[in-house]
């Protein structure tokens, strides 16, 4: 690696969702001169949602993309150096840590905050992408409220799907739950809760064929994969809860992760297995996954970084 293409920074933040920007705000205010690389989707998952009504401080709600512009502006106003670019490789073998950007330049950092987020998995249907934000959602806690008193459907059979189906059952008249096998993957207690909730209707061995509607979700066509029988159900909302994929591939082999690729942090902190490397937001959280919890953990990562750099006499 040519030394001329290496830039030295104190605090490098990778990712631009609520976790990354919040870390940048705190790090800039603590004079850590953070440099933040936004990644492939500046603003993260919130840029593909519509209205956000559960982020405190916005009494009238706000569009997800607009909220992320606010996060970015606030971080920039505090002095964070925000750049477009994707982290493509890392070398965490020694300090300072090295991160390659866009496969062309290297950054050397005294401390790194990983806030690369996670991506919802989708079924891969054309109609699912077309109606995303128009009745199709991958987050019941974010969007369930818009379907109060209406019929909705959810696909998935893990703990997330079970939790989201129960959440929706409190808001919606009926929750049609499509499960591709004849059993659920969710923990027994969650399965029991789902099966004992009167307005959750389970369809076993069921695949989603297509979501129907021109400009908004109006119905869903499903097929029993044992009998071949098809049916169309009128719904207003369609929730996909088939898992998330943490964006952690480039850190594999360096940072400890669970089997699904979520980065492990020391409980009650943002510390990873490597001193001076911290993780925040959805890349290390498969349970809560909310903008506000991600922002909170971004704050924790910046405070942990500040303590680390000051103990080393680097800020």
178, 222 in Cβ contact below 8 A?
A: yes
Structure tokens at 98: 């090295």
Q: In whole angstroms, how close is the CB of 8 to ligand NDP at the nearest point?
A: 38
The number of residues that bind ligand NDP (CB under 6 A) is: 17
Q: What string marks each residue from 240 to 269 as x (binds ligand NDP by CB under 6 A) or -? A: --xxx-------------------------
CA distances to 46, 67, 289 from 64, rounded to whole Å, are 5, 5, 15
Is-catalytic flag, 142? yes
From 2-10, 151-159, 169-177, 290-298, span contacting ligand NDP (CB under 6 A): 151-159
Residues of this chain, 79-108, that bind ligand NDP according to CB under 6 A: none
Tokens standing for 221?
Answer: 């066509």
DSSP conformation letters of 239-302: EE-S-EEES-GGGTTTS-B-TTSPBP--TTS-B-SSTTEEE-GGGG-SS---HHHHHHHHHHHH
Map residue 188 onto helix, strand or coil.
Answer: helix
Question: How far is it, in rounded angstroms, from Cα 312 to Cα 305?
Answer: 11
Structure tokens at 277: 């490397």
Catalytic residue among 142, 159, 172, 299: 142
User: What's the closest the beta carbon of residue 121 comes to ligand NDP, in angstroms?
Assistant: 6
Please report whether residue 139 would count as binding ligand NDP according to CB under 6 A: no
**Which of 81, 91, 102, 139 is the catalytic position?**
139
The phi and psi torsions of 16 (rounded to 5 degrees) equal -130, 35
Our finding on whether 161 is near ligand NDP (CB under 6 A) is: yes
How far is Cα 61 from Cα 41, in angstroms, rounded to an integer?
Answer: 22
CB of 122 to ligand NDP, least distance (A): 8
* 299 is a catalytic site residue: no
> Smallest distance from the beta carbon of 128 to ligand NDP, in angstroms?
11
Binding mask 279-308 for ligand NDP (x = CB under 6 A): -------xx---------------------
Active site residue 143: yes
User: Which residues are the active-site residues?
Assistant: 139, 142-143
Binding site for ligand NDP (CB under 6 A): 123, 155-161, 163, 180-181, 185, 242-244, 286-287
């Amino acid at each position: 690696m040519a030394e001329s293409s290496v830039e030295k920074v104190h605090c490098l933040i990778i990712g631009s969702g609520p976790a990354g920007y919040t870390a940048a705000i705190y790090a800039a205010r603590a004079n850590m001169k953070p440099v933040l690389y936004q990644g492939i989707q500046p603003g993260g998952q919130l840029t593909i949602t519509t209205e956000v009504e559960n982020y405190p401080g916005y009494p009238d709600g706000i569009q997800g993309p607009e909220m992320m512009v606010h996060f970015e502006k606030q971080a920039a106003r505090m002095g964070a150096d925000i750049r477009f670019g994707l982290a493509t490789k890392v070398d965490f073998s020694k300090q300072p840590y090295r991160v390659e950007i866009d496969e062309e330049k290297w950054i050397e950092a005294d401390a790194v905050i990983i806030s690369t987020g996670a991506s919802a998995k989708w079924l891969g249907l054309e109609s699912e992408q077309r109606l995303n934000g128009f009745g199709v959602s991958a987050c019941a806690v974010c969007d369930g409220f818009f379907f109060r008193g209406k019929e909705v459907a959810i696909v998935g059979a893990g703990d997330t799907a079970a939790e989201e189906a129960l959440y929706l059952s409190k808001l919606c008249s009926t929750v049609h739950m499509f499960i591709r096998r004849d059993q659920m993957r969710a923990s027994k207690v969650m399965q029991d809760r789902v099966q004992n909730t009167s307005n959750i209707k389970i369809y076993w061995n069921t695949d989603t064929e297509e979501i129907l509607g021109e400009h908004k979700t109006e119905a869903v066509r499903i097929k029993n994969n044992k009998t071949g029988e098809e049916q169309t159900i009128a719904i207003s909302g369609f929730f996909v809860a088939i898992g998330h994929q943490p964006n952690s591939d480039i850190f594999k082999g360096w940072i400890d992760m669970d089997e699904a690729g979520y980065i492990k942090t020391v409980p009650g902190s943002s510390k990873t297995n490597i001193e001076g490397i911290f993780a925040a937001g959805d890349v290390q959280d498969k349970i809560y996954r909310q903008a506000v919890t991600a922002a909170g953990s971004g704050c924790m990562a910046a405070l942990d970084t500040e303590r680390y750099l000051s103990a080393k006499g680097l800020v």
